Structure 1
Amino acid sequence: MRRDTRDRTFFQRGGFGLLALLAVLTFAFDILPAARLIGAALAPGGAFSPDNALSVITSRSAIRASVATLETALLSSLLALLIGGAMALVLGLTDARARRPASFLFVLSMMISPQVVALAFLSLAGPASPLLNALGLAPAAGTPNPMLGRGGIILVLGLHHAPLVYVVLSAGLRRIPGAVIEAARIDGSSPKRIVGTIVLPLLRPHLIGAALLAFVAGIGNFGIPALLGAPVNYLTLPVLIYRRLSSFGPGIIGDVAALGLLVAAVAGLCVALSHWLTREEAVQLEEDRPFEPFWRLGAGRRLAETGVWAVLAVALALPMLSLLTASLVPSYGMALTPVTATLDNFVEVLVRQDVTVRAFRNSFFYAGGAALALALLSIPLAYALVRRAGAARTIVPALLEIAYVLPGVVLAIACILLFLKPLPLVGVSLYATPWIIVFAYLARFLPVALKPAMAAMEQVELAQEEAAALDGARTFRRIADIVAPSLLPAAAAGGLMAFLLAFNELTVSALLWSAGTETIGVVLYNLEEAGLAAQASAIAVTSVVVITLAMLALDRLSARLPAGTLPWDCASASPVARAAAAAPMAPFVPERLAPVTAPHGQVVRG
């Protein structure tokens, strides 16, 4: 039934409160922190004077840290592109078995916090490695740990960010219409030729975008360079910022704001370029049927599967085994034997030590509270963006991503600048309280929680809302009775994703914590700095267990979520592809081929 103008106006009436909420959150979480950071860097004391920022940025230590940041980010992004690209092609194009479990485990290696990954690789190599000592493979005493310094940082960053490349490329593969592949197969093209002439050209924007995102992640990473570079005085910009602020306190805030602005400028430029390259117009093809794996490897399948599980062993299994081994010995450096094996480190950090027990409790409360708030906020915000935002629908999500795009150290500096003085009107200061950490979590992970809800909102039909509106239901009643039940699984998934990222978070917490507000990431870093690697490993193992359980809970929700919501679901996002992952590949049926626009614009018909 066609709605007249009166019905349309009646249905669209209201919702101004939702738009106001959206505007307030965008201003508070993104625009205000960014503006405060720029003001502190370029106008210290309130007067425009960029000379101080220029002198800080061009100082010898800043230049040396910038070079270290750029070289580790560049080389690690190339390594991540190589590994993540190979995994995306094998798991997305071929008939390799167990693609979805492999995808889950690969993404799990990225969800584990960087400082845990760094600690795992630090424990894996070197003469003091409990695992190597247990196997009798440890190098001679006094041999330097190969993970310390530039090479170790590049290797660990590359392995840690390879799943990010994998997720981006897998999403790009899903946008290639399956009929294009079928047309090429009808024409007699081999799978290798299809990959070279169709798949890779269509993936070119995603390849560049994925490399840029890995580069940005390398620039802003704090945990890996802090644990692997700081002990040998190889400092990146985030580590230099942390050292200056922790050594000199808030009095040096203008200097660190200038350094933070430098990091933010490089990261923002790369992210903007990545978004432009992977925008929706990048592939102009009719998606008449979903993309499915098409490459039967035959005798080479076992070799491809071996390569996939070898990557998982290096990126996840060996480091986690090293952590577990280090956590089960009385002190770091001892070999694990039936005599030396002990659970005392777990008892120490989970029961006896007040600071570690408090850190676990704080992390659960801060991350869990922020995740719950974001899950609840995502429903009205998704409704406002999809139904009410109009022309601002593309601008507001980009603004909301500012806090997520900013490296964590930069966001932490912005929060310090915002809350160092008491809030106007109320006269209450959030600085050195748990609320400043929660605020940073809310600002940083709002885009993560919002995306699944927006994807689900796109699929909610208007018919029920229209009927309720004509029956007199106002906007908030329609949201509560119709929209919220449909969006609840996606909102829960978004909240769990935010919890995954916030629970072990270190980059933001490292600058915002105070006595009594320690988090897991902060305590783990401090224990490693104090030489208590066995206790730090016990904390790391426990946090990995928590993250794995949260990911399994998310996986249970996958059937009720829009396709592609979960990052490890990329390899089998469509129902057809999910069936292919669990069963032998279906035979090729040419009769199913429908008209489709080929990559060069010509129309191909079966």
Structure 2
Amino acid sequence: MAAETAGPRIRRAPATAPGPRKETLGGERLLLGLVLAYVLFTTFWPLAELFSAALRPGEDGRTLGLMRDVLASRATGRALWGSLVTSGLAVALSTVLGVGLAFAVSLIRLRSPAALVFLILTPLLIPSQTMALAWIELAGSGSPILGALGLAPAPGSANPLYSTGGIALVMGIEHMPLVFIATRAALRTVPADLIEAARVIGVPRHRIAASVVLPLVAPSILAGALLAFTAAIGNFGVPALLGIPGRVSVLTTLIYQRLNGFGPSAAGQVAVLALIMTVLAAAALALRSLALRRLAVPLPAGRPFEPSRSSPVGEIVLWLVVLVIAVMPLAALVMTALLPAIGVRFGLDTASLAQFAAVLANAAVRRAFANSLLLSAGCALVAVVVAVPFAYLAVRRPGWLVRALDVGVEAPWVVPGTVVALGMILAFLPPLPLIGVSLYGTLAILLIAYLARFLPLVLRPVTAAAQTADPALDEAARIVGAGLARRLACVFLPGVLPAAVAGAMLVVMTALNELTLSALLWSSGHETIGVMVFALQYEGNSTAAAAVAVLSTGLVFALCAAANAGARWLPERILPWRQ
């Protein structure tokens, strides 16, 4: 009897076991379908429209005729040359500054390293248009700082930054943190035993840095420089505020001027310009990947090198350099915002908060702050909602389609923002299928562009956190019958929530003052902070532009302070100034 009753039980078990597994696979396929639809809508479709527009035949029907005509244009050649020259000079400055500061911070025992590193990274946290405006106020004839020192240009003279050299200077300082971060990270991998061995045999300190350490970190320096080149090629805020008045043409400003002057009818021509920028950025990123893969030297694991010697003179020089590149421009911006009008000399009798009161009373400025806060917070929230299930699929159920989507979502982040904005115009200017509504001229197109560009800021830390989690927890929950939605909410989400929050904070800080996308996608009533700063400065109202820029920068610093205060609950190395 025992054998007879045991037999049926063994035969029935396979009939019930596949149930939860089948349900799980169905839920994961649905989840993958939703992620696929999201990426197709926000990323692949706009970029496909862009490339399709660039590859159209010309008016005479020639294959690639439109591309041939644009490439043969003198304006294109001048803008391409301007982009290469300004970006090349900017990268040279970024590399010199970034490497020098990284070596100084890593080799000198500092009394306040965290504060110094934060100031070094400040140009990366401040948007391009604010950086450009700060340097304009610092270097102009009405400079409140250089004027007090007797070093300001003569009254009525052109600002020296309205030139190729001025664009390269500001972009070089702005993108310097990219080289600094790459170099400093590489220096922290150099084993202390290697340095101590060189000291034991009597090698001088400067020779150790030049002959031992520098060759080891050279691939990372090259990678950081190529990343800075990619950022410089796609930079819009600095060339717009410095290059347009100085008649220096680059690809980003040429696209803006063509669309601003001819509207969507010029979409095909500017798509070709955007394709040129994409090729330049892709080439730089491919070289960066090659440098890290082929030139990097594997180092033995060991105790990382720590600075053991202080240098009062070196520390003073280091602080002076940082104050000049990070503090003085912002100080000039604040002092300009305190003036009642352009041309008024700064002093205790002239400084007031009148400009701040005026811009806050301006309905357009208040609307711009509200729009930017709404867009950045909405983008961060949606990015978290998408990144969590996306990371689950990437880590728990990897496949060729998931890997392709994971690579594809990086495209809007690595290509210039102008390219992304143009793809959004081409995709969403016509009425959408089925519903017959155009998103062009609405906040929706800005939100979609932000989602496409800033999703990697959340997805990467969430994926990294998911890779360290124990997969047995998810498997155990599946075995006891927990559905996919419950496992995501109760098992997977708690483990990656700190990383998701950190990524969301980075999205808000980055998107709050965004200009490159907004400059091409904004419309009346849908202004953003970046657009407002650019528009006020373009109209000649420098004091009002400075006031708005100071308010927006203060908001970013407040977010940085909040992130820093909650750093103990966030994943390590998520905040760049705490690495």
Structure 2 length as normaliser, TM-score?
0.91
Q: Spell out the pairing of 1:272-351 with structure 2 (5 A cutoff).
A: 272-279=286-293, 282-287=296-301, 289=302, 291-293=304-306, 295-298=307-310, 301-350=311-360
CA distance in 1, matches of 2:419, 2:393: 29
Conserved 8 A contact 2:384-2:500: yes
CA deviation string 1:413-470 (max 9, x = no partner): 1000000101111212111000000000000111112111122112212232233222
Q: Distance in 2 between matches of 1:382 and 1:93?
A: 38
Residue 128 (structure 1) aligns with: 142
- Indicate whether 1:101 and 2:115 are aligned: yes
Distance 1:146 1:512, change over 3 A: same
Does the 8 Å CA contact 2:123/2:175 hold for their aligned counterparts?
A: no
Which deviates further from its counterpart, 24-33 or 504-513? Answer: 24-33
2:516 paired residue among 507, 518, 525:
507
In structure 2, what is the equivalent of residue 587 of structure 1?
Answer: none
Q: Is 1:538 equivalent to 2:547 in the alignment?
A: yes
**Could you say what secondary structure the match of 2:391 adopts?**
helix
Pairwise CA distance, 1:403: 0.4
Asked if the contact 1:29/1:400 (under 8 Å) is kept, the reply is no
Residue of structure 1 in register with 2:91 after alignment: 77
Which SS does the other structure have where 1:568 is aligned?
Answer: helix
Partners of 1:173 and 1:191 in 2: CA distance: 15
Q: Bigger shift: 161-170 or 317-326? A: 161-170
1:163 to 156, 164, 177: 177
Query: Could you say if the C-alpha distance between residues 200 and 132 of structure 1 is closer, same or farther in structure 2, counting changes exceeding 3 Å?
Result: closer
Residue number in structure 1 paired with 2:476: 467
Cα pair distance change 1:120/1:191, threshold 3 Å: same
Matches of 1:44 and 1:363, distance apart in 2: 39
1:312-461 equivalence runs, <5 A = 312-350=322-360, 352-391=361-400, 395-461=404-470
Superposition deviation, residue 284 in structure 1: 3.4
> Deviation per CA, 1:259-304, whole angstroms, max 9, x where unpaired?
11111111111112213323599453454x45242x4334xx2233
Residue in 1 aligned with 2:262? 248
Contact map agreement 2:220 2:292 (CA 8 A) in 1: yes
Distance in 2 separating the partners of 1:169 and 1:437: 35
Aligned-pair distance for 1:183? 6.1
Tell me by how many angstroms 1:199 deviates: 3.1
Contact 2:89 2:168 in 1 (8 A): yes
Specify the alignment match of 1:53 in structure 2. 67
User: For 1:397 and 1:100, how far apart are their aligned partners in 2?
Assistant: 34
Is the alpha carbon distance of 1:567 and 1:407 closer, same or farther for their aligned partners in structure 2, counting shifts above 3 Å?
same
More off after superposition, 370-379 vs 16-25? 16-25
Deviates most, 43-52 or 356-365: 43-52
In 2, Cα distance between the equivalents of 1:80 and 1:397?
Answer: 30
Match of 2:8 in 1: none
Which of 259, 264, 267 lines up with 2:281 in the alignment? 267
Q: What whole-Å deviation, never above 9, does each CA across 1:374-420 have from its counterpart, x for those lacking one?
A: 12322222222122124566544332111011211111110000001
CA distance 1:358–1:449, shift in 2 (3 Å)? same
Q: How many residues align?
A: 559
- 1:23 has 2:36 as partner: yes
What is the rounded CA distance, in whole Å, between the counterparts of 1:522 and 1:441 in structure 2?
15
Give per-residue Cα distances to partners, 1:324-356, cap 9 Å, x unaligned.
110001112211122211111101111x21111
CA shift digits 1:460-482 (9 cap, x unpaired): 12232233222222332222112
- Alpha-carbon distance between aligned partners in 1 of 2:435 and 2:305, rounded to the nearest angstrom: 58
1:21/1:100 CA distance change after superposition, 3 Å:
farther
**What displacement does 1:189 show?**
5.8
CA distance, structure 2, for counterparts of residue 374 and residue 61 of structure 1: 39
Q: Residues 491-519 of structure 1, C-alpha deviation per residue, up to 9 Å, x if partnerless?
A: 11101111111111111100100100000
CA distance in 1, matches of 2:294, 2:98: 22
Structure 1 residues 134 and 243: CA distance shift in structure 2, 3 A: same
Could you state the TM-score of these two structures normalised by the residue count of structure 1? 0.87
1: CA distance, partners of 2:328 / 2:435: 52
- Judge conservation of contact 2:56–2:66 (CA < 8 Å) in 1: no
The structure whose RCO (Cα within 8 Å, separation 6+) is larger is 1
- Contact 1:420 1:431 survives alignment (8 Å): yes
Residues 327 and 380 (structure 1), Cα distance of their counterparts in 2 relative to 1, 3 Å cut: same
Match of 2:81 in 1: 67
Q: Distance in 2 between matches of 1:208 and 1:138?
A: 36
TM-superposition CA deviations, 1:541-574 (whole Å, max 9, x none):
001101111112222333333332222223xxxx
The percentage of aligned residue pairs carrying the same residue is 40
Residue 590 of structure 1 is matched in structure 2 by none
8 Å contact kept, 1:412–1:440: yes
Give 2:6's aligned residue.
none
Residues of 2 paired with 1:498 and 1:414: CA distance? 21
Aligned to 2:54: 41
- Say if 1:29 and 1:403, in contact at 8 Å, map to a contact too: no
* 1:10 to partner: Cα distance: 5.2
Q: Are residues 304 and 28 of structure 1, via their aligned partners in 2, closer, same or farther at CA, if it must alter by over 3 Å?
A: farther
Q: What is the identity, as a one-letter code, of the residue corresponding to 2:432? A: L
Q: CA deviation at 1:220?
A: 0.8
- Partners of 1:497 and 1:81 lie apart in 2 by 25
State the distance in 2 between where 1:90 and 1:392 align: 45
Contact 2:182 2:220 (8 Å CA) reproduced: yes
Q: 1:58 to 1:48 in 2, by over 3 A?
A: closer
Q: In structure 1, how many angstroms separate the alpha carbons of the residues matched to 2:41 and 2:184?
A: 34
Aligned amino acid, residue 167 of structure 2: I
Contact 1:19-1:389 within 8 A present in 2 as well = no
For residues 109-149 of structure 1, what are the alpha-carbon distances to aligned partners after superposition, in whole Å with 9 as ceiling and x for unaligned?
A: 21100010000010111222233345554332222211111
Asked whether the equivalents of residues 102 and 309 of structure 1 are also in contact (C-alpha less than 8 Å), the reply is yes
Letter in 2 for 1:230: I
Give, as a single letter, the amino acid of the residue that structure 2 aligns with 1:32.
W
Tell me the SS of whatever aligns to 1:49: coil
- Residues 1:529 and 2:538 are matched in the alignment: yes
**Worse-matched range after superposition: 323-332 or 203-212:** 203-212
SS at match of 1:552: helix
Larger Rg: 2
RMSD: 2.5
1:320–1:290 Cα change, 3 Å:
same
Per mean C-alpha deviation after superposition, the further-off stretch among 188-197 and 511-520 is: 188-197
Verify the 8 A CA contact 2:457 2:507 in the aligned structure 1. yes
Render the CA deviation track for 1:200-236: whole Å, top value 9, x for unaligned: 2332221111111111111110110111111021111
Q: Distance in 2 between matches of 1:26 and 1:181?
A: 48
Q: Distance in 2 between matches of 1:128 and 1:196?
A: 42
Which 5+ residue runs of structure 1 have no aligned equivalent?
1-5, 571-606
Is 2:502 aligned against 1:490?
A: no
Find the residue that maps to 1:321 and give its secondary structure.
helix
Q: For 1:307 and 1:471, locate their aligned partners in 2 and report how far apart those are by CA, in whole Å.
A: 63
Stretch deviating more after TM superposition (446-455 or 175-184): 175-184
Secondary structure, in 3 states, of the residue corresponding to 1:361? helix
- 8 Å CA contact 1:432–1:512 kept in 2: the answer is yes
CA shift, 1:359, in A, is: 0.6
For the 8 Å contact 1:489–1:560, the answer to whether it is kept is: yes
Deviates more, 1:41-50 or 1:30-39: 41-50
CA contact (8 A) 1:456 1:561 kept: no
Q: What SS does the corresponding residue of 1:335 show, helix, strand or coil?
A: coil
